[in-house]
Each structure stands twice: as structure tokens, then as C-alpha cells.
Structure 1
């Protein structure tokens, strides 16, 4: 196994992700790294994110909604994806390890793991939607009284 050459930029990217809970995109990582490394290129950020993900130092999150996100916590855990604002957040819950056994019961192969994302509205989007529905309901009531 070859040893990986140390890179200040790679280490800074890893540290940046470790201090975040919002699972930023590569563009967000790039924008933030420019303050510390003004000459860093977007390609360098993408290559380092791919390498860090490949060696298990970070996790790449592909939800099918927009750009890939990156998580500084590579330990298996679950994520919530907001269908309103497309934010990605960690869910604090125990791992459902037995799901691999259930999935493998009627499968002629070997299940080694799983990836699960939970979807819905985050707290902010749910409150905005509720307030919007309440406002519309009030407007509908006023309009009906005018008729």
C-alpha cells in the first residue's frame, strides 16, 4: 500500500468539513478554502474531496437532489434531506443494522451495507409551510365573507 503524500490543502479541507454540520457542496468548500489558499482551484478541491471520500476520511452524500454533499463524519449514520430547501442534516438515531439481514433474506447475493436517506421538510420549511397555509386559509375566509 502506498502512503499518501501530505497536503496542507487536503488537511484544511478535511478540517473544514469536520467542523461543519451542514454537509456542504464542493462549491461551498472551494469558496471557504479560497480565504486560506487564494490560489486553490476548484479542480483541486474536487480531487481532494474525491480522494478523502475514497480513503474513508470523509463521506460523500449523493441524494439525487442537486450537487453532492460532503460529511466530515465518515462513521455510518443517517441523513435527512429537506425537500423544501434541499439542506442535508444528520439524524440522531441508532443504526438499523438488522436491515441488512432483512434485505438479504430473499436475495441471492451478499448484502454488505446500506445507505438510507430520510426525506421531508426541515423544521424551518415546515414552519414556513404551516404559516403560508394559515395565511392562505385566513385570506380565503375573508374573501368568502366579502362575497
Structure 2
């Protein structure tokens, strides 16, 4: 996850406008293990900026996704979530508590290259997720 200073530097380098709203939306992500929905981000940001609209949240999230600073993820629950770790990596969603976890396994690092090589397809991106019960819910 980028610091506010790093984020500002990237936006400046890309000649993108740095607004307090954009910075606050990005700041709403507390770490790479969090996978909030747009509504959750909206509720968090509204605590700091009560007049901010939901449309501004969506526009800011889309802006960061287009710059590859965020990615959207689908973990099979019908809800679009946002991930502050833009590199491809698998996720696990607990079917009991709904929490989403990052998984980082070596086999996954070259999966798109392996698929492209075996099929001749051009792979732009991929998403992998696993469903089950997390350790905490198994207790």
C-alpha cells in the first residue's frame, strides 16, 4: 500500500489531479488485507468528509483502478470489492463470516503465463478465489 506522499508523487508523475477527495478515498484502505466494498469505503470516508457523494467515491475508485493502484475483485458473493494490492493474487472467502483473505502462493505467480503458453491466448488478467471456512470460524 502506498503512503499519501508516494500516492501524490505517482499522481504528479502521471499528470493527474490530486484532490483531497481522492486522497481520502485511498486513505480509507487501512492495509492490503482489507477488501472493502464501495459502500464500506463511502461510510468510512463520510466520517472525514460528510458532504462527499457516493458518485465521487465510485469515480475515485474507478480512477485508481484505471491507474492500476487498486483492483476490483469478485470472490463469488455477488459483491464487487476493492483490493489495494493491484498485482494478481488469489483470495479466500470464508463462507461463515464473509471475511476475504489474500493468498500468496508461488504456483500462482506464473499461472497466466502457463495458460497463455498452453492455449495461445493473450491473458490480460485473471482472478482466482477459494471458498471454505477460515481458521477462526472452525474453532
Which interval holds the TM-score relative to the shorter structure? 0.7 to 0.9
Higher mean displacement: 3-12 or 101-110: 101-110
TM-score, normalised by the number of residues in structure 2: 0.76
Residues 77 and 95, structure 1, Cα contact 8 Å, conserved in 2: no
Residue in structure 1 matching 2:86, options 49, 74, 87: 74
SS at match of 1:96: helix
How many residues in Structure 1 have an aligned counterpart in Structure 2? 126
Give a deviation string over 1:64-112, Cα, whole Å, max 9, x none.
3132111122233221111222221112433523323442355243234
Q: Are residue 43 (structure 1) and residue 55 (structure 2) matched?
A: yes
Q: Distance in 2 between matches of 1:52 and 1:46?
A: 10
Root mean square deviation of aligned Cα: 2.2
Question: Partners in 2 of 1:114 and 1:84 — Cα distance?
Answer: 25
Does the CA-based 8 Å contact 1:18-1:73 persist in structure 2? no
Residues 13-54 of structure 1: CA distance to partner in whole angstroms, max 9, x if unpaired?
A: 112215362211111111110111010111111111111112
Higher Rg of the two aligned structures: 1
C-alpha distance in structure 2 between counterparts of 1:46 and 1:57, whole Å: 14
Deviating beyond 3 angstroms after TM superposition, the runs of 4 or more aligned structure 1 residues are none
Pair 1:121-2:133 in alignment:
yes
2:122 maps to 110
SS at match of 1:4: coil
CA distance, structure 2, for counterparts of residue 112 and residue 66 of structure 1: 22
Inter-CA distance 13–95: structure 2 relative to 1 (3 Å threshold): farther
Structure 1 position 56, deviation (Å): 0.6
How many angstroms apart in 2 are the aligned matches of 1:45 and 1:109?
Answer: 35
